[in-house]
Structure 1
Amino acid sequence: MTKEVKIEKDLSRPWGGFVKFIENKPCTVKILQIKKGESLSLQSHKLREEFWYLISGKIRVTIGRNLKSLKKKVLKEGQFISVPKNFLHRTEAVENSKILEISIGGFKENDEIRYEDKYGRK
């Protein structure tokens, strides 16, 4: 997690609680739908950091500062992960999955440096 963003969790409310990812910051919010067995590119972004909250399904996240430091982590429904700027990352759907993606910083779809892509995109 970067210094810019503080994730706050409060489950002490009588009705349940909340997890706050972003407060008063410009951001772009998407819901990604990834089919079982499919994956996004191994990529990085210069202009933005990302936060992924798994709404449903199960995903395998690959993340690291560079190609040599990549690690894999499985996320289940209700879990989240932070992806700092310039970190390599990829999501693979172990099951049909929906991910809430919050991007903070300059958002441009072409702010992707692709390292690997199973669909042949550059």
Structure 2
Amino acid sequence: MERYTEQSDGREQAGRREPGIVDKPWGREVWYAHTGRYAGKILEVDAGHVLSLQKHLVKHETMLLQSGRMRFTLNDEVFEWRPGEVVSIPPGNVHRMEALEDSVILEVSTPELDDLVRLEDRYGRAD
């Protein structure tokens, strides 16, 4: 998978996340914006990896699958997610993504970052 090359530690300062790259067990996040109105990042998910089964208390996410192929769980619905398709996830909705191929997701959300509730996680990070 093509990777972005800019390096940063993605630190949060004064309640805002600095632009940068954050390695994750499933791939990595490339943060490009975090303001008082929205947060923007690119998720690069390696084939075969699964993100947490999770929900947010306040945060609303909108995601576009740029490339790859994923299995998406939204509440009780499971569907195959293909490039060009957009998923909107209002607060309180349980969701999970599984990469069937190396995948790139563009995510824009409301700016809340600390309201994640992990219900299940393959990497030992569940609440």
**TM-score, L = length of structure 1:** 0.71
Shift of 1:78: 0.8
- Long gaps (5+) in structure 2: 1-35
Does residue 114 of structure 2 align to residue 117 of structure 1? no
Partner Cα separation in structure 2 for residue 59 and residue 51 of structure 1: 16
Partner Cα separation in structure 1 for residue 124 and residue 79 of structure 2: 25
- Paired position in structure 2 for 1:16: none
Deviation by residue 1:40-79 (Cα, 9 ceiling, x = unmatched): 1000001211111001001111011xxxxx1101111111
- The alignment covers a number of residue pairs equal to 91
Q: CA RMSD in A?
A: 1.3
Partner Cα separation in structure 1 for residue 56 and residue 93 of structure 2: 7
Match for residue 90 of structure 2 among 60, 84, 101: 84
Letter in 2 for 1:79: E
Letter in 2 for 1:120: G
Larger radius of gyration: 1
- Long gaps (5+) in structure 1: 1-24, 65-69
Identity across aligned pairs (percent)?
38
Higher relative contact order (CA 8 A, sep 6+): 1
Match of 2:60, SS state, is strand
**TM-score, L = length of structure 2:** 0.68
